[in-house]
């Protein structure tokens, strides 16, 4: 591991003041320390932001404010999250292990990097790690990589489960930076790889996440389902966060929200499927039609074509479970 300096910031002002080129913020370290050990991340200076006063969840009012330093386990165990945003609790609980969730922070979870095997192996080229060096995943091991929104430069997926639920809920990310404060919506925080796969998000150097806010829970029932290679402690092959609001008098869909994980460089909001379902009968046939409308855009690679029917079936099954 490259030598670095370490400092603990007491508040956002101190963190921003200490930031200089080569600095990275340190959350729970569950992704960053691993990437430093692998030689993928090489900061000169770590500014620890876990002691910033952002470790509380504020459930006053109709929505929810989650501090950036709230640990994943505390988020999932919070009564307001369990009662009002059960899909978010499920998504967080389906990720990683009890130990990792105790360490991982809300901001760190959002900003964790891809698990593409070449990205993590410094002996291989990778456009995300070393721009313009090539993408060995496209001809190589891409079983678990993207089917939607990828580019010729990068086919990585974003690994977070939590972010998928936040995309369906329409969360807002509060950011403070050297120049000004701003609010970035999810989806919107993460970006598609395009010609700049080295940029995972729209954040600029030195910008610090302080909180995530949620609007009031959407009407209807919700669920998070994750398909993976073993029953627990594995990243998603495909996951879906769905909210379905059915008008019971007419059995038609009043509104719905669908977000997919494991399929793209971003938590993928399935807007085509949502549009196809609004006002449609809440039936399996319509769910299939909506899922297929979304996945018509999919461009699977030779070894991850299995994700297309998997995503389709997962969307349909999850929506069926949500019919009142």
Partner 1 sequence: MAEMTLRVNGSVRELDVDPRTSLLDLLRERLGLTGTKKGCDHGQCGACTVLLDGRRANACLALAVACDGSEVTTVEGLGGAADGDEPHPLQTAFVERDAFQCGYCTPGQLCSAAGMLAERGPSAVTADLTDDPPLTPEEIRERMSGNLCRCGAYVNIVAAIQEAAR
**Interface with ligand SF4 by CB under 6 A: which range of 23-31, 45-53, 126-134, 244-252?**
126-134
Minimal distance, residue 50 CB to partner 1, in Å:
7
Give the integer Cα–Cα distance in Å for 67 and 253.
34
Mask for 151-170, x = binds ligand FAD (CB under 6 A): --------xxxx--------
Q: Is 209 in the site for ligand FAD (CB under 6 A)?
A: yes
Among 101, 128, 190, 269, indicate the residue that binds ligand SF4 (CB under 6 A).
128
The string of DSSP letters for 16-51 reads: HHH--TTEEEESS-TTHHHHHHTTS---SEEEE-TT
Among 132, 232, 249, 302, indicate the residue that binds partner 1 (CB under 8 A).
232
Which of partner 1, ligand SF4, ligand FAD, none has residue 159 at its interface (CB below 5 to 8 Å by kind)? ligand FAD
Minimal distance, residue 140 CB to ligand SF4, in Å:
8
- Please tell me what DSSP assigns to residue 38: T
Give the integer Cα–Cα distance in Å for 266 and 95.
16
Q: Is 30 in the site for ligand FAD (CB under 6 A)?
A: yes
Encode 239-273: b = buried (16+ Cβ within 10 Å), e = exposed.
Answer: bbbbbbbbeeeeebbbbbbbbbbbbbbbbbbbebb
Give the integer Cα–Cα distance in Å for 237 and 261.
8
Residue count, binding to ligand SF4 (CB under 6 A): 15
Minimal distance, residue 130 CB to ligand SF4, in Å:
9
**What are residue 119's phi and psi, to 5 degrees?**
-60, -35
Give the integer Cα–Cα distance in Å for 173 and 192.
18
Q: Is 118 in the site for ligand SF4 (CB under 6 A)?
A: yes
**Interface with ligand FAD by CB under 6 A: which range of 99-107, 119-127, 186-194, 295-303?**
99-107
**Is the distance from CB of 174 to CB of 181 less than 8 angstroms?**
yes
Give the integer Cα–Cα distance in Å for 296 and 301.
14
Which of ligand SF4, partner 1, ligand FAD, none has residue 156 at its interface (CB below 5 to 8 Å by kind)? ligand SF4
Site residues (vs ligand FAD, CB under 6 A): 24-32, 49, 68, 72, 95-96, 100, 103-105, 107-109, 111-112, 159-162, 208-209, 235
């Amino acid at each position: 591991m490259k030598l670095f300096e370490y400092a603990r910031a007491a508040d956002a002002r101190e963190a921003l003041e200490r930031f200089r080129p080569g600095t990275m913020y340190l959350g729970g370290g569950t992704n960053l320390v691993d990437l430093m050990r692998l030689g993928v991340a090489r900061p000169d200076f770590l500014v620890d932001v876990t002691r910033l006063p952002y470790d509380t969840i504020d459930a006053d009012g109709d929505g929810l404010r989650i501090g950036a330093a709230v640990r994943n386990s505390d988020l999932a165990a919070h009564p307001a999250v369990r009662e009002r945003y059960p899909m978010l609790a499920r998504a967080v609980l389906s990720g990683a292990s009890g130990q990792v969730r105790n360490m991982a922070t809300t901001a760190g979870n959002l900003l964790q990097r891809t698990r593409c095997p070449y990205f993590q192996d410094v002996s291989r080229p990778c456009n995300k790690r070393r721009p313009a060096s090539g993408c060995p995943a496209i001809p190589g091991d891409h079983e678990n990589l993207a089917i939607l929104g990828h580019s010729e430069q990068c086919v990585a997926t974003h690994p977070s489960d939590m972010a998928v639920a936040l995309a369906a809920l329409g969360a807002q990310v509060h950011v403070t930076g050297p120049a000004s404060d701003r609010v970035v919506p999810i989806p919107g925080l993460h970006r598609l790889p395009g010609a700049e796969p080295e940029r995972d998000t729209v954040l600029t150097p030195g910008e610090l996440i302080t909180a995530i806010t949620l609007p009031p829970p959407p009407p209807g029932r919700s669920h998070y389902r994750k398909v993976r290679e073993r029953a627990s402690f594995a990243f998603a092959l495909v996951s879906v966060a769905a909210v379905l609001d059915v008008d019971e008098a007419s059995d038609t869909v009043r509104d719905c929200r669908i977000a997919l994980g494991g399929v793209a460089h971003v938590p993928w909001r399935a807007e085509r499927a949502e549009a196809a379902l609004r006002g449609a009968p809440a039936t399996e046939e319509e769910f299939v039609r909506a899922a297929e409308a979304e996945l018509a855009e999919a461009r699977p690679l030779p070894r991850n074509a299995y994700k297309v029917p998997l995503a389709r079936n997962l969307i349909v099954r999850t929506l069926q479970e949500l019919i009142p």
